[in-house]
Amino acid sequence: MILRNTIAGQLVLLLLIYGRHTLLSSAKTVANEQMSLALPEPRAYLPDAQNLDFVYHDHEELTRFLRATSARYPNLTALYSIGKSIQGRDLWVMVVSSSPYEHMVGKPDVKYVGNIHGNEPVGREMLLHLIQYFVSSYNTDQYVKWLLDNTRIHILPTMNPDGYAVSKEGTCDGGQGRYNARGFDLNRNFPDYFKQNNKRGQPETDAVKDWISKIQFVLSGSLHGGALVASYPYDNTPNSRICRSSALCAMFQTYSAAPSLTPDDDVFKHLSLVYARNHAKMSRGVACKSATPAFENGITNGAAWYPLTGGMQDFNYVWYGCMEITLEISCCKFPPAYELKKYWEDNQLSLIKFLAEAHRGVQGFVFDPAGMPIERASIKIKGRDVGFQTTKYGEFWRILLPGYYKAEVFAEGYAPREVEFVIVEQHPTLLNVTLQASKRIEGVGAGGPSYYRPMQQVPQHYRPGAPPYAAAASTDNGIFSTISNGLNSLYSNIFG
């Protein structure tokens, strides 16, 4: 956390970190969240034609807009790069918040990622307009002010600027520009829970992996094109290869896909419905074309649509506990620019309301007996195997629906605890947990006195062990596997 270099700032820092005065910050957050229930809906967007028009922006234009916005709104924005593409283009991230340069204790971090497939740029432009809407509406839109006062929003408009550079406007299908400059599909380039992913890591995905390892993101959306649906984890499944010896089965495995549900399936469905129902058309579940699937209520489990290995949303969830969903927001991958204004009108409310879901569920702090925050304490909701960890200030967040829950909290050198709590609809539940130092046990082991450890080694981020079928599933080779992978690639090129 960065505080102003003043005596007042130093006093605030001491209050936040070295005592239970953190509760005051949390109480203020809850008060703001309760107030948000009475706030009006975000107003209709009125574009500032001097800054951003409804056209496609190349990388130089995108960079100029982000830099100009950061200079014009220094109290609401911060611009940084998480790395470069293969061809040297910056992967820009814009933070939009009332505290853009500093992590305020109790304020969750959320993110949007656009243009992971270079020839799907509608999301790229929607994120630029979202930035413009936030900064221009902060002083006039109560809902936006509440959101930016209580959330740090990180926006990566393009993850694949090289692919975008070779894409063509008006191309609704096909793969030109989909991949990065080395021909890799970036949404098949992440570590996978179900199968070993042997594809060589790319600079763009390596940058994103490093980014999310450093910031405790609570909620995320990845924007795509080629369909109209909100898709949620898992994208992969242990049964994506239904049989190994039949060429026919291998060729048509995509069409016999089944759901692959996470332990947080209720939450993921809810998040997807929040986006779909606030969208102008998505929740109707209308198929983009007669030959493409229709989705009930505008949502789908990723693997039920078609399974894929190495997807970004599964990686966010399994490795870091970040609830990410994939948002397919245009039937045409690269529609004409004159349609962008309508896409914005369709998606504006969804983009805003989805981020506000970070304030649903449970949040709090983990302390030691002296009231000091415990960093990287691991937390797991009982019955939900994918866990999460505290920040350096002992903070945690978890999106949950109303109900009764039990949290398991443990950290290196401390006795584990189980804590029961209740989630209600109206506001998030505050849960502050104190862990006691583990008891000393005399005469254990050849080295003499030792201490109880709840885990041999606490990983940087909790991740469930690989399923027993992972190793077997990663050995698929041969011509039928090649044909099957080719069909999956073709299917994703057509439908998203």
Choice among 120, 125, 328, 395 that is catalytic: 328
pLDDT for res 488:
55
Residue 394 has pLDDT above 70, yes or no: yes
Note if 33 is an active site residue.
no
pLDDT for res 455:
37
Q: 362-451 has which CATH code? A: 2.60.40.1120
When pLDDT is averaged across residues 172-181 and rounded to a whole number, the result is 95
When pLDDT is averaged across residues 466-494 and rounded to a whole number, the result is 45
More reliable by pLDDT, 221 or 474? 221
What residue spans define the domains of the chain? 37-359+473-495, 362-451
pLDDT for res 412:
93
pLDDT for res 27:
43
pLDDT for res 470:
41
pLDDT for res 26:
43
Span 26-58, pLDDT tens digits: 444 444 444 444 566 665 545 444 468 999 999
- Whether 362-451 and 37-359+473-495 are alike in CATH topology: the answer is no
When pLDDT is averaged across residues 300-315 and rounded to a whole number, the result is 96
When pLDDT is averaged across residues 360-369 and rounded to a whole number, the result is 96
Span 134-153, pLDDT tens digits: 999 999 999 999 999 999 99
Residue 321 has pLDDT above 60, yes or no: yes
Residue 156 has pLDDT above 50, yes or no: yes
pLDDT for res 444:
46
pLDDT for res 40:
65
Residue 240 has pLDDT above 90, yes or no: no
pLDDT for res 434:
97
- Mean pLDDT is highest, among 243-252, 376-385, 470-479, for 376-385
Say how many C-beta atoms besides its own lie within 10 A of residue 23's C-beta. 14
User: Which of the residue ranges 139-143, 305-309, 461-465 would you say has the lowest mean pLDDT?
Assistant: 461-465
Residue 343 has pLDDT above 70, yes or no: yes
pLDDT for res 291:
78
Residue 8 has pLDDT above 80, yes or no: no
Rounded to the nearest integer, the mean pLDDT of the chain is 83
Q: 37-359+473-495, which class in CATH?
A: alpha beta
In terms of pTM, does the model score above 0.85? Answer: no
